[in-house]
Structure 1
Amino acid sequence: QSSSVDGFNVKFSGTDNYEDIKNSDVIIVTAGVPRKPGMSRDDLLGINLKIIKQVAEGIKQHAPNAFVICITNPLDVMVMAFQKYSNLPSNKVVGMAGILDSSRFKLFLSLELNVPVKEIEAMVMGGHGDTMVPLPRFTKVSGKPLLELVKEGKLSNDRLEKINQRTRDGGAEIVKFLEKGSAFYAPAASGVEMASAYLNDRKKMLPCAAYLSGEYGIEGIYAGVPVIIGKNGVEKIEEISLDDNEKKEFMNSIDSVKKLWEAASNIDPSLSK
């Protein structure tokens, strides 16, 4: 009903038949059980793994050439499981994580500094969970490095760390307020941003959960990194230069993803093949 207000034309249809997604260009996967207050994303592992397997098999059969964006939590493991189950090319399967996490980081900084959110550039890497890595060193406010504002006393290190932590807890904050569900507006907007980059061949750098084949010294796992998305899906993974502390935090986040993947593989041994 909002289409007449916002001035866009679109047709919606609902279905429970995978045949209706035949030859889709883009598929955004949100299927899964949402978090409840007190739950972490990881608590959803066993339940959502079964759901992702079913979805992957349906997409493999009816839309094997689609660009697939996975939003289901725990994100990094679910997107990796989806790729395994579907056997779709890894460059055509990505996870929505970093865009959402970075947008939360930007929002909290804008509230703290009282500047428009559009004036902030920010990056969050790593797993989409409690160990995600906000990167203040790569953050700019109106073109000025964030850390310079810290040096000038416009933002204390203590406040910055609290913003970093609030970014990590951003999803849980929404779950607490909703009580019976998890975030959906911001994840939806993030997914659409990724779909637009693919459909319009924008070659835009976006932080997403992508398959790593040696980048950042990591092999055979999905994790949040800056990537270029265009008409071929993930066309390039950008390797930014991390300092020692950033590398340590990033690898700690990767280790958390690996441990959760091991847990998923124990639930379904076929994933380890």
Structure 2
Amino acid sequence: PGMSRDDLLATNAKIMTAVCTHVKKTSPDAVVIVVSNPLDAMVQQAQKVTGFPPQRVIGQAGVLDTARYRTFLAMELGVSVEDISALLMGGHGDTMVPLPSCTSVGGVPVTQLIDQKRLDEIVDRTAKGGAEIVGLLKTGSAYYAPAAATAQMVEAVVRDKKRMIPCAAYCDKEYGVGGYYVGVPVILGTGGVEKIIELELSASEKAAFQKSVDAVKELVTTMATLV
């Protein structure tokens, strides 16, 4: 409580380094799912320390962010969350990128049901969802939804379900990211990230995604000076 994701950077980077050093020794063939914040920097550190192939080190963020986004949309519209189909990309935090082109309610584009101003407010609440829960709990942080999201990912890997879900995956040429972990839609199976799905983004979505990638790069650069 009282700490932002970025406040956790130095502390959690050191913990991640220590833990992943042991993971490398004891479980060299593991698929690693990182949940610690700030997520995008922590998963980058985990891959660096383990030296595992990037597809076997994944960050849990997109599943959680999308679940929160779908929930808030359902609450706004008074419909079942089961009728909301949505996708978020980018970093896990204030720069996360909603994709209106991939968001619908019972097959109806969300932009036909909610005006842009209100949609932006819902996205902002989604980005601050973890902090909202911390504020309500007072003495802890969110754990139910992150645990459920992580369980979905574990099941996809263990049962080789080939699920298409958003995760923090290592992108090099994909989306022009250039060697960083960032939230993108992937096919998740027994080998970890089996494929990164490259979507055709609109001009505004591309700009927002690039802004998010730049924020992730800055975070990773800062982390390198602390660890």
Same fold (TM over 0.5): yes
Instruction: Return the alpha-carbon distance in structure 1 between the equivalents of residues 17 and 98 of structure 2.
Output: 31
Q: 1:188 aligns with which of 147, 153, 159?
A: 147
Bigger RCO (CA 8 Å, 6+ sep): 2
Report the CA distance between 1:200 and its aligned residue: 1.1
1:232 Cα deviation after fit: 1.4
Residues 188-207 of structure 1 show CA distances to partners (whole Å, capped at 9, x for unaligned) of 00001011111111111110
1:59 matched to 2:31:
no
Residue 169 of structure 2 corresponds to which residue in structure 1?
A: 210
Paired position in structure 2 for 1:127: 91
Residue-by-residue CA offset, 1:75-99 (whole Å, 9 max, x unaligned): 0000000110111111110000001
SS in 2 for 1:166: helix
Structure 2 equivalent of residue 45 of structure 1: 9
1:246 and 2:205 matched:
yes
Shift of 1:136: 2.1
Percentage of matched positions with identical amino acids: 50
Q: Choose which of 265, 269, 272 in structure 1 pairs with 2:224.
A: 265
Equivalent residue for 1:237, pick from 190, 193, 196: 196
Q: Which of 109, 132, 155 is matched with 2:73 structurally? A: 109
- For residues 107 and 222 of structure 1, the distance between their equivalents in structure 2, rounded to whole angstroms, comes to 26
Given candidates 58, 81, 92, the residue that maps to 1:94 is 58
| In the alignment, structure 1 residue 76 sits paired with structure 2 residue 40 | yes
Give the TM-score normalised by structure 2. 0.98
CA offset at residue 137 of structure 1?
2.1
Q: How far did 1:64 drift?
A: 1.1
Deviation for aligned residue 1:55 = 0.6
Counterpart in 2 of 1:138? 102
- Does 2:141 align with 1:179? no
1:157 maps to: 116
SS in 2 for 1:85: helix
Q: Which amino acid aligns with 1:62?
A: T
Residue 201 of structure 1 aligns to a residue whose secondary structure is coil
Q: Please report the TM-score for the alignment, with normalisation by the length of structure 1.
A: 0.81
Structure 2 counterpart of 1:200: 159
Question: Which of 111, 134, 137 does residue 147 from structure 1 map onto?
Answer: 111
Q: Which whole-Å CA distance do the structure 1 matches of 2:117 and 2:40 have between them?
A: 29
- Residue type matched to 1:75 in 2? L
Q: 2:179 aligns to what SS in structure 1? A: strand
> Which structure has the larger Rg over C-alpha atoms?
1
Quick one: distance in 1 between partners of 2:180 and 2:115?
36
